[in-house]
Structures are given as structure tokens and as C-alpha cells.
Structure 1
Amino acid sequence: MNEAPLIQSGGQGTETVTVAAQNGKMNEITSLERRPEGGPGPIRRTALHDTLVSHLRDMIIEGDLAPGTRLHEGQLGEQLGVSRTPLREAIKYLASEGLVELVPSRGAVVKRFSAKDVKDMLTVLQSLEELAGRLACEAASDAGIAEIRAMHDEMVARYKAGDRLQYYKLNQQIHTAIAQLSGNAALADMHAMLQTRLKRIRFIGHEGPEKWAAAVAEHEEMIAALEARDKGKLSEVLGRHLTKAWERVRDSV
């Protein structure tokens, strides 16, 4: 059953008509810009690339697509209701993030990291976050810190609701935001790359009530140190948090 067209003002006399089919599958969204004189402008088709990438990434994070799993375009395309072309592009994007490998004669495979790979990446991530914490306490605006507090409060709400995936996404957004508040673009870029590759591993670190509760407690310390602009404390908490992250996942990799 198709959804009725949604008409929104596009500003300066334009309107955008968006039509999306609701059939349980991912579909293309067609945008039609109306010119000020009332005639239709060019149709822009936007493949749901971002949605598809996000969905596949979530499947990897939650283990629905386990490490070593071959990504069959035909099967996945049928399951998700998309053609091979946008699916292939989404898989290539995940390969650029380091979550998928493009293996000769096998095709696309969910990346499997060794224990040493994980330990090495967490070691570098720990150093980056310790530095980010110190810099953020010096450089962050009050508004930037308030935004992280809001994310933290929502993360705790997701924890109390038992919504593990949404909790985890907010958790990762907080770490990303602290890196960005450092004001050091090189640090933030390197942090983003490593954090993306470790998404599945970090998610495992919240399995079980004790591990999850411990991670939340560490985040409570984090936000308190950031709000106090105590750079020594925030750096220490972030470093300890990453050390504990390895302890929580080392038996699972």
C-alpha cells in the first residue's frame, strides 16, 4: 500500500513531493521539486544508500551477520527488498569503513579481527581518547558539553529500558562528540576510523548485566568530569574505560 504524497515547503516558492511505498521493504524515495510557476521540476531519485548502510551495519554490530559471513547480494537483496546495485554500493562503503572485506574469489565477507587486532586498535583508541578528554575540557563550549549531557541522559534512559542497540549508538555518539570537542580534526578523524572498525567488538562488551552496568557507571564518571572541566580526571576515566573495554571483550575474540 503506497503512502499518500507528502508535500512540504521547499522555500522560495518551491515544494517537495516525497512518495514512499510502505511494503515492508526498503524502497527508493522520489523527490519532485515544483518550480515557482507551478510546473514540475526535474525528478531526483535518491537511493536509500544511508539507510541501507545503517541497516547492514546494525546487522553486523548485533551479530546477525557474524564475522566471516559471506554477503550474498542476491539473498540480501531479496531479504531487504533492494536491487543489487544499491546493495553493492552499500557493501563497498562498509568495506571502506573496515567492517567488510572484499576477498578475491569469495566476494564480500564480514571482517574477522584477531585478538591482537582488537588489542592493538583499543590501545591506540585509548591514547586518542585520553588526549581528547584533556583537550575537550579546555576547548569545549558550554553548549557542546550540554549536548553531551543530553546524549548521556538519553543513553541512561535507553539502558533502563533495556534497549541495548539504541543505548550503544548513543554511547558511541558520546565518545565521538568528546573527540570532536577536542578541536583537533586529525584526532577526531583517526578516532572515527578506529571506532567504526571496533563497533561489533565494543557492542559485545555490553553483553550481560554486570558488564553493561559497569560501562554505564564509567560513563557517569565521564560526564561528571567533563562538566567540571577536570581534564586530568576525564583523561583518567576515559583511559580506564578503554582498558576495561578490552577486559570485557578479550574472551570473546
Structure 2
Amino acid sequence: MNTQDAAIPSLDSDLADGAITPIDRPTLHSVVVSRLRDMIIEGVLLPGTRINEGQLGQQLGVSRTPLREALKVLAMEGLVELVPGRGAMVCVLTAKDVRDMLEVLSSLEHLAGTLTCQNASDAQIGAVRTLHDEMLAFYRSGDRLQYFKKNQQIHSALIVLAGNASLAMVHDILQSKMRRIRYLGDQNDDTWSGAVADHEEMIAALEARDGPRLSAALVDHLTRTWDRVKDAI
């Protein structure tokens, strides 16, 4: 073996050491789940709509098997209801449902604000800042759906960094069910800019490691979320 060959690490060794990670290729299943989720969030599939599997599968160019598997995932997320004998329907949330979930989310995020400022590393806070900056780029370009997705990643990250698995589990369930409603909160320029201002305060509090300030910012944000969406429910 020459010196050049010796300088090249073995691929088998790298895999064994975990130095090389497999390329993440999206499966048909994950693509269908993501597409259907976006259709519900954006209102292409409206609340109360019965999903015609044959017609929808034809529109998406997929068979019923991956479509049904995707609907099962969305049912677990609370976006779709599987009704025996009737198939799948997009879930409907009443005003009371939304108020109740926002109240619980407020309590969870209030707790998370303090814990996250205590437990997050500098690198983790920097990663949230990166998500925030990416979100602002989508805001400036007017891409509401990609902005919303990044927005939700930020909220999830703040919860995960609190370091409480039970808190994260309950928050994830409610946040999933609220996706369509929260997306409605950014449908005009005034409410959208207000939500961005809320996030600016949240990231400032996080970077200052000011737990009470972050908790207050998260709760205020959710309180204003109700004001933004109540007329659309």
C-alpha cells in the first residue's frame, strides 16, 4: 500500500465508527404524509371534508396503499379522523376545542421557557437562532407555508430543549392537532408581522437565558394566537 492509499480511511471502518451517515432519501410514504399534511394546513382539504381515496390517489399519482398508510399517520397527529364504514375525514375543531388546547399549550410553554433557559447549551441556542433566521427569510420572501413549518420547528425545539420528555410528548400531540388553526393566524400582513415580532422577543429572551422573560413571551404569543384565529374558526 502506498502512502496515498494509507491516508484514505477505510469505508468499512468509518461506517463502524459512525463517521459516515447514510443519505436520507425520502420514502414515498413520507412524501405522501407531508403532501397531505400541507393540503390540510393550507385548506386544500377543508375541515369536515371526506377524503375520497380513489380520487385523491389519482390526483397525487399514488396507489391506495401508501395513501391509507399516510392517513393513519395523520389520524395519529389529530388532523384526520378515520370513521368506520365512511373512510377518512379532515378533523373539525370547534372554538372551544381551540381555546382549551391553547390554554394547555400556554401552561406547557410557560414551564418550558424556564427549563429551556436553564438546560440548553450555547450550541443548542445557536441552532434555534439559525431556525429563527431561516424563518425570517421565508417571511421576507412571502412564503407562508415554509415560514409556518420553520415556525413550528422553533416551538418544538424550545420544548425539546426543556429536557422533559413528558412535557414534549403532550406538547407534540396538541401542536399537531393545532397545525391548521395556527396556520390561519398568519393569513394577513398585520397578524403575520405581529407573530414575527413575538418570535423576535422569544429569541432575544432565549439568548439572554432569561427564563421568566421567555415564558412570558411564549404565553403572550399564544394569547395573541387566539385573537388571530378566532374569527376564522
TM over 0.5: yes
For residue 18 of structure 1, what is the aligned residue in structure 2?
A: none
What is the deviation of 1:96? 1.0
Q: Kindly indicate whether residue 87 of structure 2 is the aligned counterpart of residue 118 of structure 1.
A: no
What's the CA shift string for 1:96-144, capped at 9, x where partnerless? 1110011233210000011100110111011101111110000000000
Specify every segment of 5 or more residues in structure 2 that has no aligned partner in the other structure, as ranges.
1-10, 14-25
For residue 71 of structure 1, what is the aligned residue in structure 2?
A: 51
Q: Give secondary structure in 1 for the equivalent of 2:55.
A: helix
Task: Please identify, of 127-136 and 100-109, the stretch whose mean Cα deviation from structure 2 is larger.
Answer: 100-109
Q: Kindly indicate whether residue 110 of structure 2 is the aligned counterpart of residue 130 of structure 1.
A: yes
> Which of 143, 146, 160 does residue 123 from structure 2 map onto?
143
Alignment of 1:143-182 (within 5 A): 143-182=123-162
Counterpart amino acid of residue 236 in structure 1: A
The structure with the largest strand share of the pair is 1
TM superposition score normalised by structure 1: 0.82
Determine the C-alpha separation between the residues in 1 that align with 2:137 and 2:73.
32
Specify every segment of 5 or more residues in structure 1 that has no aligned partner in the other structure, as ranges.
1-10, 14-45
TM superposition score normalised by structure 2: 0.88
Alignment of 1:77-96 (within 5 A): 77-96=57-76
Give the ranges of 4+ consecutive aligned residues of structure 1 lying more than 3 Å apart after TM superposition. Answer: none
What is the deviation of 1:47? 5.1
Q: Kindly indicate whether residue 184 of structure 2 is the aligned counterpart of residue 204 of structure 1.
A: yes
What is the deviation of 1:208? 0.2
Determine the C-alpha separation between the residues in 2 that align with 1:159 and 1:202.
16
Determine the C-alpha separation between the residues in 1 that align with 2:191 and 2:94.
22
What is the deviation of 1:12? 2.9
Determine the C-alpha separation between the residues in 2 that align with 1:51 and 1:127.
33
Determine the C-alpha separation between the residues in 1 that align with 2:72 and 2:227.
32
Higher relative contact order (CA 8 A, sep 6+): 2
> Which of 217, 220, 223 does residue 240 from structure 1 map onto?
220
Identity, % of aligned positions:
62
Report if the CA contact (8 A) 1:70-1:108 is conserved. yes
- Size of the alignment, in residue pairs? 211
Determine the C-alpha separation between the residues in 1 that align with 2:84 and 2:71.
15
Determine the C-alpha separation between the residues in 2 that align with 1:49 and 1:193.
21
Determine the C-alpha separation between the residues in 2 that align with 1:145 and 1:51.
30
